[in-house]
Amino acid sequence: MIKIAFFDAKDYEKRAFESRITGEELSLVFFDTRLGPETVPLAMGFDAVCIFVNDVADKTVVEALTRYGVRLIALRCAGYNQVDLQAASGKITVVRVPAYSPHAVAEHAMALLLCSIRRIHKAYNRTKDFNFSLNGLAGFNLYGKTVGIIGMGRIGQAFAEICRGFGMEILAYDKVPSDSGVSFCSLDELFEKSDILSLHCPLTKETYHMIDRESILKMKKGVVLLNTSRGALIHSEALLEGIKERKIGAACLDVYEEESDFFFEDFSGHIMEDDVLARLLSMPNVIVTSHQAFLTEEALDAIAGTTVNNILTFFAGLPVPNEISYS
């Protein structure tokens, strides 16, 4: 029996994973709390831990897991910036879910964009109060507009296909340009020409705060910024200043660089202590969703299936295709 400590567990994840376990090979114990230096003792006696985007597997946690005899960190997400890979190298194996449903994230990005530029969220609130005025609800067409996509992996390519269906001009930037049927260019050119800018790249040392005050100054006035990737790709205070200065016409965010303190939890009865997030939420041209772009039934099933397969493959002593490179 392989014992798995499942951290930061939500009900919708539990259902997806429990439906994938049909035999007696795996035993999952679900913890509501996130993995971190203070909670890592909960992993004692387990063979593996399963973690999500806001869990922390830094050097302290990795060393503790190693002492406890934990052999595997199974990420149930694509990103792995929350894991200290240098500390893990040679001590504990780290696997991930590189692709679960790129269309889920891409479609959510387009949903945010349409909601923003066509003022659907404002219209919804108005009509709930029986206010059917159209004043202030004028948007703009996507047809003929230029969208700049940073990161042309599976999600970026899926988003490009959606944009192509709207008749948009597509520019792209990727560290390794591919044959994706789009025009690749430099970041500076992409900033200069894009009416809409969408982020679909991983968070690395190179991409941390890639959207900062300097890059915002290079963008078109009124640019619409989308981020369904990782919050720290954007310097939040620079974004706020860009909005206040009318340089950024709208921001649609499914992620936020300090989201681990708030996202996935209900703080409706509390005072928001993050002043930057509170100010962003107060802006009429900002839409924030709480890291839900992945949240479809198809994606949840795919995440559970790949994660369970990763775990079973590893403990069978076989090579795991989804092991993360430690270099």
Q: Report DSSP letters for 221-261, one per residue.
A: TTEEEEE-S-GGGB-HHHHHHHHHTTSEEEEEES--TTGGG
Q: Which of 259, 273, 279, 323 is catalytic?
A: 259
Distance CA 5, CA 31 (A): 7
Let me know whether 191 and 251 are in one domain.
Answer: yes
pLDDT of residue 95: 97
pLDDT of the residue at 219: 98
Catalytic site residue 230? yes
- 323 assigned to some structural domain: no
Look at the chain and report how many structural domains it folds into. Answer: 2
Tokens 């114990």 identify what position?
A: 29
Q: Give the domain CATH number at 74.
A: 3.40.50.720
Residues 146 and 236 in one domain: yes
- Note whether 43 and 8 are same-domain residues: yes
d(CA 151, CA 264): 25
Give the active site residue among 34, 108, 235, 291.
291
Q: What is the pLDDT of residue 48?
A: 97
What is each CA distance from 74 to 55, 183, 225, 310, in whole angstroms?
Answer: 12, 36, 32, 8
Do 79 and 110 reside in the same domain of the chain? no
User: Is 19 inside a domain boundary?
Assistant: yes
Note if 259 is an active site residue.
yes
pLDDT at residue number 78: 86
pLDDT at 20: 85
Same-domain check for residues 50 and 134: no
User: Looking at residue 327, what is its pLDDT?
Assistant: 65
The closest of 95, 63, 93, 62 to 78, measured between CA atoms, is: 95
192 and 207 in one domain?
A: yes
- Is there a single domain that holds both residue 95 and residue 31? yes
322 found inside a domain: no
Q: Do 93 and 165 belong to one domain?
A: no
- Answer whether residue 320 is part of any domain: no
Task: Note whether 181 and 254 are same-domain residues.
Answer: yes
Task: Say which residue the tokens 């900002």 belong to.
Answer: 286
Q: How far are the Cα atoms of 17, 27, 33, 47, 214 from residue 30, in angstroms, in the given order?
A: 11, 10, 9, 14, 44
Q: Which of 76, 230, 235, 257 is catalytic?
A: 230
Return the pLDDT at 266. 87
**One domain for residues 22 and 111:** no
Please check whether residues 113 and 219 belong to one and the same domain: yes
Q: Is residue 258 part of a domain?
A: yes
Domain-embedded: residue 321: no
Residues lower than pLDDT 70 in the chain: 24, 327
Residue 215 CA from chain centroid, whole number: 21
Same domain, 92 and 107: no
68 contacts: CB under 8 Å, gap ≥ 6: 40, 43, 44, 45, 46
Range of the domain at 56: 2-100+297-315
Q: Residue 24 catalytic? A: no
